[in-house]
Amino acid sequence: MKTRTCATAVFAAIAAIAAGCAGMNDQETSQKALEVMKASFNERGQAKLDRLNQDEAQKLCSKPPSQELAKDIAAGIEKANLASIRYPADGRLMGDWRQGERIAQSGIGKQFSDDPKIPAGANCYACHQLSKAEISYGTIGPSLYNYGKLRGTSDAIQRYTYGKVYNSQAFTACSNMPRFGHNGILTEQQMKDVTALLLDPGSPVNQ
């Protein structure tokens, strides 16, 4: 732990020296970096250059995770993102966990190499443990094994879970998790299915 802190400090120092000498302040550097990026990417397939245009949350979250946001800024991000969540008109938040499992396994979607006609996946397993059966899971996010078993399926839990999938930053500013509904990655039905994967008592997540 101690060595890690130390290494980080040395690292920060190097970065500071590098920054200091180049004669640009932080904001100028960010501006220049964006200009350079805009000149360094080609549109390809469905990935157009407008993907480099950051929204407010993306701008504020472009920082090392060790650098904490001021409380009011974090609260502002969460408030704005919470307001973006659209719950299904039919009021039903849980779909089919079997479909949800498929969506959780699939990592395709939105890459310049992907066919935009094929529905995107959520790639949950890339970052989370879900069912016990899938041993190939990532650890960037917390384990979601027994997610529903531990929380139940009350209306409040359903709303929170669907909302978290829809827009993770409504609850945690600068979360690493994609905002699947907000950014149009998943359809409403797909988000219902993923919610069911997490909450349905029959889902492998809750066995």
Partner 1 sequence: MIRRKMAATVLAAGAALGVSAQSSPEAEIAKYREALAAGNPAELWEARGEALWKQKRGPKNASLEACDLGKGAGAVKGSYAELPRYFADANRVMDLETRLVHCMTTLQGFRVADATKRVFGAGTNRSDFESLAAWITSESKGVTMNVALDHAKEREAYQLGEKMFYFRGGPHDFACATCHSESGKRIRLQDLPNLTEKAGAQLAYTTWPAYRVSQGELRTFQWRLNDCFRQQRFPELKFASEASIALTTFLARNANGAAFDAPAIKR
Partner 2 sequence: MKQSRRRALKAGGGAGVLALLCAAGVVSPGDVLAQSGNQAAFAMKTVREAMRALGAQAPAVSAAIQIKASEIAENGAVVPISIESKLPGTESITLLIEKNPNPLAASFTIPAGTEPNVSTRVKIGESSDVYALVKAEGKFYMAKKEIKITLGGCGG
8 A C-beta contact, residue 99 and residue 192: no
CA dist., res. 148 & res. 159, Å (int): 13
Q: Does 125 bind partner 1 (CB under 8 A)?
A: yes
CB of 178 to partner 2, least distance (A): 11
* 47 binds partner 1, rule: CB under 8 A: yes
For residue 81, which amino acid is it?
N
Among 79, 86, 92, 132, binds partner 1 (CB under 8 A): 132
Q: What is residue 9's three-state secondary structure?
A: helix
Per CB under 8 A, the segment of 84-92, 101-109, 145-153, 192-200 that binds partner 1 is 101-109
DSSP three-state, residue 183: coil
Tokens of 185: 């990655």
- Name beta bridge partners: 47: 44
Number of residues that bind partner 1 (CB under 8 A): 67
CA distance 73 to 133: 40
Q: Does residue 43 belong to the site contacting partner 1 (CB under 8 A)? A: yes
Q: Which of 13, 53, 86, 118 binds partner 1 (CB under 8 A)?
A: 53
What does the buried/exposed string (b/e) look like for 92-103 if buried means 16 or more CB atoms within 10 Å of the residue's CB? Answer: ebbbebebbbbb
Helix (H, G, I), strand (E, B) or coil at 30: helix
**Looking at beta carbons only, is 37 or 156 nearer to partner 1?**
37
Q: How far is the CB of 151 from partner 2 (least distance, A)?
A: 28
**Residues listed for the chain:** 207
- Give the residue, chosen from 75, 112, 115, 152, that forms a contact with partner 1 under the rule CB under 8 A: 112
Q: Name the site residues for partner 1 (rule: CB under 8 A).
A: 4, 7-8, 10-11, 14-15, 17-19, 21-24, 29-30, 32-34, 36-37, 39-44, 47-49, 51-54, 57-58, 61-65, 101-102, 105, 110-113, 125-127, 132-140, 169, 176, 178-179, 183-185
